[in-house]
């Protein structure tokens, strides 16, 4: 027999929810809480394109559409153009199933041509990661767009955050193992921290795969006949006009200094309020 949910229980749950929200708001009002929120926001801005595509993939209904189209093509006395559209649509769904690239039939033909006319180092995984930077005009006419300034800054920002998280991980684990009280709560906290930090490191590292794939494909097609591009060469190209040479030649150091100054200014501003 199920226990009835009384009005007192409801009031208690509402009170606990209010207390939780109040605690969260109080945390954000502290410099440390605001700093954590700022870092999360900066990471989102640096990777919002990838995150948007990930959320889009979660709500894709490809399998249902594929079954519907397969039934449509089987119908007799249907217009040839409709049949062609159905076949093209099935081809698009099949292409997506094998390569995880969602695009139209004409672009599929161009991507197949691209993949066949590159070396064995270029596979469908690299093509998929670089797809958002491929401009297709026809089956044999396509170009790889060079990563922009924002993409390059995001790449180095992610690299920096990964290093900082790794340092944090290396410092947290010994503390919890040798300094913190030896309790079951500490053990659970240790596991949770390690899993969370490793998850963040892997997630942020994966966001740079698209950048690396674009650079690799760009160099493979030899669009710049004089020089091959790299993250560092792109950073130097984009920032040479407004950064001193000593910073222009050190991308990671420059991003670290800028990030440190932004955090320091915001932190001091929050302390002064």
- Residue 7 has a pLDDT of 57
pTM score over 0.85: no
Please choose, from the candidates 224, 241, 48, 258, the residue with its C-alpha nearest in 3D space to the C-alpha of residue 156.
Answer: 258
Query: Which tokens hold the place of 251?
Result: 């991308």
Give every residue of the chain whose pLDDT is below 70, as ranges.
Answer: 1-83, 86, 223-226, 273
- Residue 192 has a pLDDT of 81
- Residue 169 has a pLDDT of 82
Contact 112, 140 (CB under 8 A): no
Per-residue pLDDT of 111-131, as tens digits, reads 999 988 888 888 999 999 999
- Residue 15 has a pLDDT of 67
- Residue 30 has a pLDDT of 66
- Residue 83 has a pLDDT of 61
- Residue 2 has a pLDDT of 47
Please choose, from the candidates 97, 117, 95, the residue with its C-alpha nearest in 3D space to the C-alpha of residue 106.
Answer: 95
Query: Which tokens hold the place of 205?
Result: 């590292």
- Residue 5 has a pLDDT of 47
Residue spans of the domains in the chain: they are 61-144, 148-272
- Residue 76 has a pLDDT of 56
| 3-state SS track over 69-125 | HHHHHCCCCCCHHHHHHHHHHHHHHHHHHHHCCCCCHHHHHHHHHHHHCCCCCCCHH
């Amino acid at each position: 027999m199920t226990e009835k949910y009384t009005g007192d229980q409801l009031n208690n749950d509402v009170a606990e929810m209010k207390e939780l929200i109040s605690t969260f708001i109080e945390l954000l009002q502290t410099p440390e809480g605001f700093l954590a929120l700022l870092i999360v926001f900066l990471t989102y801005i640096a990777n919002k394109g990838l995150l948007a595509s990930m959320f889009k993939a979660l709500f894709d209904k490809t399998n249902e559409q594929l079954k519907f189209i397969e039934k449509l093509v089987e119908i007799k006395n249907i217009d040839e153009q409709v049949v062609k559209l159905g076949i093209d649509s099935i081809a698009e769904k099949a292409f997506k199933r094998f390569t995880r690239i969602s695009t139209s039939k004409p672009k599929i033909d161009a991507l197949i041509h691209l993949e066949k006319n590159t070396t064995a180092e270029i596979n469908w995984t690299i093509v998929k990661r670089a797809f958002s930077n491929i401009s297709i005009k026809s089956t044999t006419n396509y170009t790889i767009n060079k990563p922009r300034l924002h993409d390059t800054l995001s790449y180095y920002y992610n690299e920096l955050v990964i290093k900082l998280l790794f340092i944090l991980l290396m410092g947290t684990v010994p503390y919890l193992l040798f300094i913190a009280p030896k309790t079951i709560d500490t053990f659970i906290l240790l596991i949770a921290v390690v899993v969370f930090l490793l998850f963040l490191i892997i997630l942020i590292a994966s966001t740079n795969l698209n950048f690396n794939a674009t650079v690799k494909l760009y160099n493979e097609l030899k669009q710049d006949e004089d020089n091959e591009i790299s993250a560092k060469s792109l950073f130097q190209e984009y920032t040479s006009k407004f950064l001193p040479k000593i910073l222009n030649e050190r991308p990671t150091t420059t991003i670290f200094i800028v990030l440190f100054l932004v955090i320091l200014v915001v932190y001091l501003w929050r302390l002064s309020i």
